[in-house]
């Protein structure tokens, strides 16, 4: 794992956006795996700014989002379809045929999950998978106890996750109990993964992911098996890493370093 520790959340967001932009500059038709959540909002704002400035184009990429709530149709204001449409796909006028999310309103969510997993394979697999992390160590909606070999499937959300995500829903709305999520095996098949975490609320999950045992207790720890995983952190999210000094020596201020 490559651990990049940036001085503040804005610098971590910019570093993450830069990695995505660089991938698209090198491979304009890349297949991106995309994430949602509060952490990703400034990343998408940064990408929109870069695209509008002509620094990068997302027009030829294909995307597959990690997850969607079961029961929410795409047009639901709290669906991840709407999240992506408002923050990235709409502002950039991207071709909807190239942007994919699981259908939360599918008649049979299990069949939809299997279809989605197969569609990722048919697209050639994911070149760059963007990830956030839940306070309980989840990636996508792979909650603790998820099989580290899991395919895309339906998962029951923990009460901790439903409470954390209640802030996106109105006071009279219930956070869905289930989601379709890319599995951990699906995520591990990506050719490169970049996980962004900012803020003190992620510090213990980040430490468990990077330095804890490989365990379904912290699903993000499965990234220890990924051959090319980069973890981009601000100092607060990095606060509980025991080997922090080492990571900062290897990558001062989160920069790449050359041998020699």
Contacting residues toward ligand GLP, per CB under 6 A = 35-39, 66-67, 132-134, 140-141, 161, 165
Q: Is 68 a catalytic site residue? A: no
Q: Are strands 62-65 and 99-100 parallel, antiparallel or unpaired?
A: parallel
Q: Which one of 68, 112, 143, 236 is the catalytic residue?
A: 143
Nearer to ligand GLP, 16 or 58 (CB): 16
The percent of the chain in helix, strand and coil, each rounded to the nearest 5, is 40, 20, 40
Q: Which one of 67, 112, 117, 236 is the catalytic residue?
A: 67
Please give the Cα distance from 232 to 12 (Å, whole number).
Answer: 6
Phi, psi of 116 (to 5 degrees): -65, -45
Shortest Cβ distance from residue 254 to ligand GLP (Å)? 19
Nearer to ligand GLP, 4 or 40 (CB): 40
What tokens does 35 get?
Answer: 């994430």
Burial of 151 (0-12, 13-18, 19+ CB in 10 A): middle
Burial of 127 (0-12, 13-18, 19+ CB in 10 A): buried
Nearer to ligand GLP, 67 or 117 (CB): 67
Shortest Cβ distance from residue 35 to ligand GLP (Å)? 5
Shortest Cβ distance from residue 132 to ligand GLP (Å)? 2
Q: Is 46 a catalytic site residue? A: no
Shortest Cβ distance from residue 251 to ligand GLP (Å)? 22
Please give the Cα distance from 106 to 102 (Å, whole number).
Answer: 9
Q: Is 112 a catalytic site residue? A: no
Distant-in-sequence, close-in-space partners of 39: CB < 8 Å, separation ≥ 6: 132, 196, 197, 198
What tokens does 48 get?
Answer: 């929109």
Q: Are strands 62-65 and 128-131 parallel, antiparallel or unpaired?
A: unpaired
**Triad 95, 53, 33: Cα angle to 5°:** 45
Q: Which one of 81, 100, 112, 136 is the catalytic residue?
A: 136
Shortest Cβ distance from residue 161 to ligand GLP (Å)? 6
Nearer to ligand GLP, 134 or 254 (CB): 134
Q: Which one of 138, 142, 226, 236 is the catalytic residue?
A: 138
Nearer to ligand GLP, 16 or 56 (CB): 16
Q: Is 136 a catalytic site residue? A: yes
> Which active-site residues does the annotation give?
67, 136, 138, 143
């Amino acid at each position: 794992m490559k651990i990049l520790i940036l001085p503040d959340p804005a610098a971590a967001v910019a570093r993450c956006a830069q990695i995505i932009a660089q991938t698209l500059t090198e491979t304009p038709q890349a297949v991106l795996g995309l994430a949602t959540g509060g952490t990703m909002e400034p990343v998408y704002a940064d990408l929109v700014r870069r695209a509008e400035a002509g620094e990068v184009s997302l027009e030829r990429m294909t995307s597959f989002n990690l997850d969607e709530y079961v029961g929410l149709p795409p047009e639901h204001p709290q669906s991840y379809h709407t999240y992506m449409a408002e923050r990235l796909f709409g502002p950039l006028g991207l071709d909807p045929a190239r942007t994919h999310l699981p259908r939360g309103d599918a008649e049979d969510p299990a069949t939809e999950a299997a279809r989605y997993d197969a569609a990722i394979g048919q697209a050639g697999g994911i070149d760059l998978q963007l990830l956030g992390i839940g306070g309980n160590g989840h990636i996508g909606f792979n909650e603790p106890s998820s099989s580290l070999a899991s395919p895309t499937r339906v998962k029951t959300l923990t009460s901790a996750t439903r409470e954390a995500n209640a802030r996106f829903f109105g006071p009279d709305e219930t956070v869905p109990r289930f989601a379709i999520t890319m599995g951990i095996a699906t995520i591990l098949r990506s050719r490169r993964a970049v996980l962004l975490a900012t803020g003190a609320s992620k510090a213990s999950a980040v430490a468990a992911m990077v330095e804890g045992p490989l365990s379904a207790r912290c699903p993000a720890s499965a990234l220890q098996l990924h051959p090319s995983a980069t973890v981009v952190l601000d100092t607060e999210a990095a606060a509980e890493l025991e080997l922090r000094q080492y990571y900062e020596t290897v990558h001062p201020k989160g920069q790449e370093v050359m041998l020699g």
